[in-house]
Structure 1
Amino acid sequence: MAQAWKCSGLRWSADGPVLRWDGGRCSALSWGKQVAFRVVDGGVRTCVGARGHPCAARTVVSGRSTGARCEECARMDRAHSVAADTVADDPRPYHVYLAWFGPGMVKVGITALERGPARLLEQGAVCFSWLGAGPLMAARRAEELLRAALRVPDRIPYADKRAVRSELPGTQDGRAAEIAALHARAVALEGWPESLTPEPFRPVDHVRVFGLTGPPAAGAAVRELVAGGVVRGELVAAAGPDLHLTSTADGGEAVVLDTRLMTGWELLPAEGSVPELTVPVRRFRREPGVQDGLF
């Protein structure tokens, strides 16, 4: 019997997306590569633990959970998370950024300076610009200032991001227009933290990095993996944690697989070469002129 593997998530390197596996193995992904795996028959999805520690109880978790953690491990993970605002004494400098994911979808966020643009790639930001740099608490205050004064959110649901990727403006200037206007308003706000150094507007576009220059439109997303289920398709694009795969099951449309749904399962190579999906999917619903997201 083939060896079963456990996925530990998708990461972005200088060369593109990489799937990581427990034990340190990595699988580099490139456009045209076949992604093919089968969930172990009769298997269950177990908690992935937190902060590098395995779950002591090996708790069974929901197939639809993107975190794949039980309540106790989720609490432990949040307790040491800058993103959850539970760490206030991190001495590292931080960037404040504006990220754009599609029309009307701009968010403000922070990331450690040493991480560069990795956080933006992980979130699936189509376009972004740095806004300022400085100590963690100054970055936090700037983030809160933008939320309060300009009503810029610090989170955008992944479902909304996925649903608009096939309808992005065709030019870099068009994709950068919203964050250009917000950047100008943000650095002019009263109450800007003195220890945060403003940075000029320099948009960075990820459309080519993500492979979104003309792949088949995404029409659905995998809802969850199930025991014995098969995922097999050609990789045509990737953004954040999402892989866009073409499958005969959806008439040539791309289907989005959130790789966070893979964690916690035991996975085997899928035999055969015909693209197929035998896991539950959820169709995108679109109406003329209205973007609905996932339904």
Structure 2
Amino acid sequence: MSRRAAVRETGANVVEGGAGGVEWRCRGITWDGGVPGLRWHGGRVSPLVYGRDLAFRAVGVRRCAGARGTPCPLGAGIPGRATGGRCPECARLDRAHSVAADTLADDPRPYRVYLAWFGPGITKVGITGEARGDSRLLEQGAVTFSWLGRGPLMAARRTEEVLRQALGIPDRVPYERKRAARHALPDAVERAREIEELHRRAGAVGGWTETLEPLPCEPRDHASAFGLDRPGGLPPLAGTVTELVDGGVVTGRLLAAAGPDVHLLDPTGRCLALDTRLMGGWALERAGGGAGSAVEGTAFSVPVSGVVSPDRQQGLF
């Protein structure tokens, strides 16, 4: 049985902290093995299992997660609404070693250019290391994608820029639009059709095939991995968590996860989205846990904002 299937069938408690005096400080979500899980300082991972209850309380002060596997030397406090989860110094160190910062021009490893689909009319072009497989697409919340080409890093970077300009598609899509679009997805055939059309248009753009090896259009769909293949889809999005606070409780039934987001049905019946990047650096402990549901009698008590409409893409910005 695959790890993805095993997690769907068995699973584990989502938040395991708060017992025996052991502090469980969160590091956000991981998609290792193609399934979602919460990462903790020290390397532990708690699987996120669709259909199970999630109930936790944030405790104390949110601390910087450090950079490149190294703890923050200052243990700096960071704002609750910061999605980066790092203090300014650690954020600079982390970005200095990233592909996005263009500091690895001589990287000899092969890279791939991809076309990603997040919702009707919401697409992007991007690059990822070939050795990472589709991990980058899972981390970004791409519902459907296809590879376009493979080759050296700088050739892939140039192709990304050429296609952005020629096709009028961005290399970034705001998470607010991605998460809102998941609540009104067309079927898999329509999703694949949009990617196939974008792939055709990209192939017709001249020049990039001279430096990259073109790859055939083979749409791959993540709806099952994200939990978005449930009958009837997700309920309408009622709001998004804006930050965690000391003593604040998040509680609800886990419906889906995509990219950094989890989608929950709270005890009052609202479907809410939580960006797990907001969890990074918080110490978390169990909340609720009555004889019935883990969320029974537990109130959702962190700030929630309204809904952003997933308007169709209008040019680059």
Q: TM-score, normalised by structure 1?
A: 0.91
The verdict on how the C-alpha distance between 1:176 and 1:124 changes in structure 2, with shifts beyond 3 A counting, is: same
1:126 corresponds in structure 2 to 143
* Equivalent pair of 2:156/2:212 in contact (CA under 8 Å): yes
Task: Give the match for residue 247 of structure 1.
Answer: 266
User: Could you tell me whether the CA contact under 8 Å between 2:177 and 2:308 is conserved in 1?
Assistant: no
1:179 and 2:228 correspond: no
Query: Is residue 85–residue 280 contact of structure 2 (8 Å, CA) maintained in 1?
Result: yes
Are 1:264 and 2:281 counterparts? yes
How far apart are the structure 2 equivalents of 1:258 and 1:10?
9
Q: State the partner residue of 1:91.
A: 108
* Secondary structure of 1:164 counterpart: helix
- In 1: Cα distance, 2:299 partner to 2:221 partner: 32
Q: What secondary structure sits across from 1:14 in the alignment?
A: helix
CA contact (8 A) 2:176 2:308 kept: no
For 1:237, what is the secondary structure of its paired residue?
strand
Aligned partner (choices 280, 285, 292) of residue 303 of structure 2: 280
Taking the aligned partners of 2:34 and 2:93, their CA distance within structure 1 comes to: 32
Using the alignment, how far apart are the partners of 1:168 and 1:230 within structure 2? Answer: 30
Structure 2 counterparts to residues 11-50 of structure 1, below 5 A: 11-14=30-33, 16-40=35-59, 43-50=60-67
For 2:102 and 2:31, locate their aligned partners in 1 and report how far apart those are by CA, in whole Å. Answer: 24
Distance in 2 (CA, whole Å) between partners of 1:228 and 1:167 is: 33
The residue type paired with residue 226 of structure 2 is F
- Alpha-carbon spacing, 1:91–1:154, altered in 2? closer, same or farther (3 Å): same
**CA drift at 1:215:** 3.2
Query: In the aligned structure 2, how far is the partner of 1:142 from the partner of 1:110?
Result: 9
Alignment RMSD (CA, Å): 1.8
Which shows bigger deviation, 53-62 or 6-15?
Answer: 6-15
Runs of 4+ with deviation above 6 angstroms? none
Q: Could you tell me how far apart the structure 2 residues matched to 1:110 and 1:252 are?
A: 39
Say if 2:248 is the partner of 1:229: yes
Amino acid at match of 1:44: V
2:68 maps to 1:51: yes
Q: C-alpha displacement at 1:76, in angstroms? A: 0.8
Task: Confirm whether residue 166 of structure 1 aligns to residue 183 of structure 2.
Answer: yes
Q: CA deviation at 1:22?
A: 0.9
The residue aligned with 2:9 is none
Q: In structure 2, what is the equivalent of residue 220 of structure 1?
A: 239
Partners of 1:85 and 1:15 lie apart in 2 by: 27
**Equivalent residue of 1:268, what SS?**
strand
Q: For 1:39, what is the secondary structure of its paired residue?
A: strand
Question: Residues 4-38 of structure 1, C-alpha deviation per residue, up to 9 Å, x if partnerless?
Answer: 21112211133621111111211112111222211
8 Å CA contact 1:47–1:69 kept in 2: the answer is yes
* 1:216 and 1:252 in contact (8 A); partners too: no
Distance 1:140 1:58 in 2: 35
Give the structure with the larger strand fraction: 1
Aligned counterpart in structure 2 of residue 69 of structure 1, from 86, 89, 96: 86
Q: 1:238 aligns with which of 243, 257, 262?
A: 257
Deviations 1:135-177 (A, max 9, x none): 11111111011012112100001011011111111x2121123
Alignment-derived partner of residue 134 in structure 2: 117
Q: Is the 8 A contact 1:138 1:193 kept in 2?
A: no
Decide whether the 8 Å contact of 1:141 with 1:193 is kept in 2: no
Shift of 1:291: 7.0
Residue of structure 2 equivalent to 1:210: 226
For 2:139 and 2:175, the matched residues in 1 are separated by: 11
Secondary structure of the corresponding residue to residue 175 of structure 1: helix
Between stretches 120-129 and 173-182, larger displacement belongs to: 173-182
Q: Deviations over 1:249-277 (max 9, x none)?
A: xx413211111111111111113332531
**1:200 and 2:223 matched:** no
